[in-house]
Amino acid sequence: MTTTTMKTAIVTGGCSGIGLGLVKHLLSQPDWRVVIADIRADAYPAIAGDLGGDSIRHVFVATDVGSWESQAALFREAFAWSGGRIDFLAANAGVAEKEHIALANPAAADYEADEPSKPPMLCTQVNQIGVFYGLKLFIHYSRRTARGLLKTSSLSQSAVAAAGYNPKMVITSSCAGLYPFSVAPEYCATKHAVLGLTRAVGRLLYETDNIAVNCINPAYVETGLSPASVTAGWPREYITPVSTMVRAFVELISETGRVEGDGKSEGVDGQVKTGQSVECVVDRLFYRKPPDYADESQRFLIEQTLDLQTGLWWKGARELFAKRQQQPPISSQ
């Protein structure tokens, strides 16, 4: 007789749109329990009855991902509720920008002011900094989970994998993280940023901790961020359903790298995914690669980041870190 290992997911922005679609899918699987995080505490009661599955397999935690303290509390509660195991973080929560930096305050009085008003940066705080917070917390609790499973503080990629623990993080970027998106430059910048983060840490964390980090780049999806006038005018055949995003999540968290063989995904079947960017368009998944190197000098520059032991950038980083450790703290006096 075999027993099913229960895995624990944290889904931010989990009460609507893409996040809710993912929550419902995970709860339809018998081996998942889900911590649903959302900034709107009143949103959970409205969806709780429709989640299906066993109600003891999901819990809600009101969370502002743009706040370190709030997101740290989310992870503490999730780790305790799950009995000390976190397997998957869907860093999905996001907001639109409050002000267009290039078109803000177009009234004549603004041009006559001595200086412009300070821009509201909530979009950056939530979409970019909140993802960085989530990554740091996920790494920490993944290592705590692995230590608990292995009963040792000495961890390696192979040992963690052998224990059957394969932590995954998937970040919701956007097609605006791949293309110019002039209607929302701050939002566009945040989505480019988390794509860069994915590519920067994906290979590294997989090699050191068996943590796979990927991102999805949805095309136009009808969510709470979509203005009614845009949705009304959008060609129906160009709308990407939430089910396409769920398929992308499933591919990216597969422990065997499984890709359904229907020709609608560019993913390689049987290859565990990490550091990948998946553009989700209507019913297709496109695995987007970084640009080609401009020349051999650029190839050398980037490839020197790939080997933790011998790469020149890593040697330099260790040198700088050692110097900082030797410097006295800066006094505020």
User: Across the 333 residues of the chain, what is the mean pLDDT of every consecutive 10-residue run?
Assistant: 76 96 96 96 93 85 98 98 97 93 67 80 98 99 93 77 92 97 96 98 96 98 81 93 97 97 96 98 98 97 93 93 77 47
pLDDT at residue 231, rounded to an integer: 86
Distance CA 53, CA 64 (A): 26
Amino acid of residue 182: S
- What pLDDT, on the 0 to 100 scale, is given for residue 1? 35
Q: What is the pLDDT of residue 2?
A: 42
Give the pLDDT score at 93.
Answer: 95
List, by residue range, all CATH 3.40.50.720 domains of the chain. 7-290
pLDDT at 166: 96
Radius of gyration of the chain (CA): 21
Task: Assign domain 7-290 one CATH number from 3.40.50.1110, 3.40.50.720, 3.40.50.1100, 3.90.45.10.
Answer: 3.40.50.720
**pTM of the predicted structure, to 2 decimals:** 0.92
Cα–Cα distance for residue pair 207/314, rounded to 1 Å: 15
What three-state secondary structure class fits 9?
strand
Tracing tokens 């509660």 back to the chain, one arrives at 77
